[in-house]
Structure 1
Amino acid sequence: MQIIELPIEYELNGQIDIIYPSLVIVNDELTLVDTGYKNLLPLIKNEMLKKGYNMKQLKNILITHYDHDHVGSLYDFKWNYPWVKIIASDIESKYISGKMKSERLIQAESMLEKMSTEESEFGKWFIQELKSLKPVSVDKKVHDGDTILNGKCRVIATPGHTSGHISLYFPELDTVITGDAAVQENNELVIANPQFCLDLENAEQSLMKIKNLKAKYYYCYHGGKHISKEE
């Protein structure tokens, strides 16, 4: 078993940034954790090919939570590789599948009402991005403590950033994939965008929860791999 981070450099609204989806390899079968913004499939695919893997090996896509920078390319992946199974928490699956209006969209619409004229331009763009996400059916719904990926991965409920956010713990590798429960800033694990957390208190508890696992490696979607113990 192995976990590889996929550094994806992209341009959004004139700015260059990098995200780090994770690729989990178990018995030559691939699980991609989160899919980036819309239209990033080609970049993710190319990065996988550079690592020596092909799309025929892709078995699962696991979504940590329903935010447009994590699910933006999910529909494209499912359209191009229909055999791939989509895995998400029971809560987030309602938004991914389009059965319920997402918490993030409700939050964004509420925040728009209080924004200045300058801020509202971004707010309107953000709302349109969320509304443009196409629904995708979730094949497997998971809950806190579930064991998946041939018993190699334990699902950790880490609510706060969103209600159904999950992180992934791999005891054999002493590794956590954090999603947005933690980001790496200045070589520290901190809360991702606390101003946008749907429940900041829960987000703080979730950050402590994954820190208390005392893993050696934390794969952060924003900021990249964090090593918490000496090599």
Structure 2
Amino acid sequence: MSCVHLLNIRFAHNGIEQVLTPVLLRDEAETILVDCGYPDFLGLLDGAARQHGIPLETVTKVIVTHQDLDHVGSLAALKRKHPHIEIIAHEIEAPYLAGMKKSLRLEQAEAMLDSLPDEEKPNGQQFIHLLQSIEPAVVDRTVRDGERLPWCSGIDIIHTPGHTPGHLSLYIQESKTLIAGDAVVVEAGRLEIANPQFTLDLEEALRSVRRLLDYEIEHIVCYHGGKYTNDVGQGLRDLLSRYDFGS
């Protein structure tokens, strides 16, 4: 994993301590940030990057795994501060990131609001306002499933829909490392579906997990949970078996 640097960012959100794991990919020519956290995360990102000796201003590209708030909240601010950065995302996600299409997570939150218990509706409305406040960011380059990016000796784009329609994961061939985004998360030491109750298409998300078994993965890094330390293939198969989804 010589070109893969994990940024373990600890912070408080709604009074609860959380950890997110964006990733820096670096070779002789490029420094690539994968996902960029909530709004107002630039300071946290820079501090975490500098722990690896990589100042944030040296980033040349940002690859966005999908449109969710905790992955793109600081994207527009990052681009504004460092306009040389090239934003890369799956072609399905690009119009949502640019504000040309309404956020699917916002549509979901609005649709669920009336069904919430009265005591939870203020939090639901607050979440809607937060989603509405996310600043759009134009994608400079779109990618699709099976595309191979030349950096770090080869990065394969894997379309892993389900959590959102255009969710992507990244496979680093040299180190057999998967950057999973929210295709899977690590919870209590095992691989799980990220927030299955809010996953836009759970069966599609499970099919995406099944596809990951086609890759020789020795290391997997999840945005929520960080690096999974057990056997990856077995962890993926165990996840599928819990949903009775044949592997």
Please state which band the TM-score falls in when normalised by the shorter chain. Answer: over 0.9
Match of 2:175 in 1: 173
Match of 1:10 in 2: 11
Q: How many Å separate the matches in 2 of 1:148 and 1:118? A: 48
Does structure 2 conserve the Cα–Cα contact (< 8 Å) formed by 1:109 and 1:127? yes
Find out whether 1:224 has 2:226 as its counterpart.
yes
Q: How many Å separate the matches in 2 of 1:212 and 1:69? A: 28
1:207 maps to amino acid: V
Q: How many Å separate the matches in 2 of 1:213 and 1:186? A: 24
Match of 1:82 in 2: 83
Q: How many Å separate the matches in 2 of 1:127 and 1:79? A: 24
Quote how far apart the aligned CAs of 1:149 are: 4.0
SS in 2 for 1:118: helix
2:208 maps to amino acid: S
Q: Deviations over 1:164-195 (max 9, x none)?
A: 10000112111000000000122221100000
2:11 maps to amino acid: Y
Does structure 2 conserve the Cα–Cα contact (< 8 Å) formed by 1:153 and 1:170? yes
Q: Deviations over 1:44-99 (max 9, x none)?
A: 10111121012342110110000000001111111110000000011111110000
SS in 2 for 1:194: coil
Match of 1:69 in 2: 70
Quote how far apart the aligned CAs of 1:154 are: 0.5
Structure 2 unpaired stretches of 5+: 233-247
Give the aligned CA root-mean-square deviation in angstroms.
Answer: 1.4
Quote how far apart the aligned CAs of 1:28 are: 4.9
Q: How many Å separate the matches in 2 of 1:7 and 1:54? A: 15
Match of 2:125 in 1: 124
Single out whichever of 202-211 and 88-97 deviates more from structure 2.
202-211
Find out whether 1:35 has 2:39 as its counterpart.
no
2:120 maps to amino acid: E
TM-score (norm 2): 0.89
Find out whether 1:190 has 2:184 as its counterpart.
no
Quote how far apart the aligned CAs of 1:23 are: 0.6
Match of 2:244 in 1: none
- Paired-residue identity, %: 40
Quote how far apart the aligned CAs of 1:225 are: 0.4
Off by >4 Å, runs of 4+ in structure 1: none
Match of 1:101 in 2: 102
Does structure 1 conserve the Cα–Cα contact (< 8 Å) formed by 2:45 and 2:56? no
Q: How many Å separate the matches in 2 of 1:228 and 1:154? A: 23
Match of 2:209 in 1: 207
What is the count of residue pairs matched by the alignment? 230
Match of 1:152 among 154, 161, 165: 154
Single out whichever of 86-95 and 202-211 deviates more from structure 2.
202-211
Match of 1:50 in 2: 51
1:64 maps to amino acid: T
Q: How many Å separate the matches in 2 of 1:119 and 1:177? A: 34
Q: How many Å separate the matches in 1 of 2:50 and 2:157? A: 27
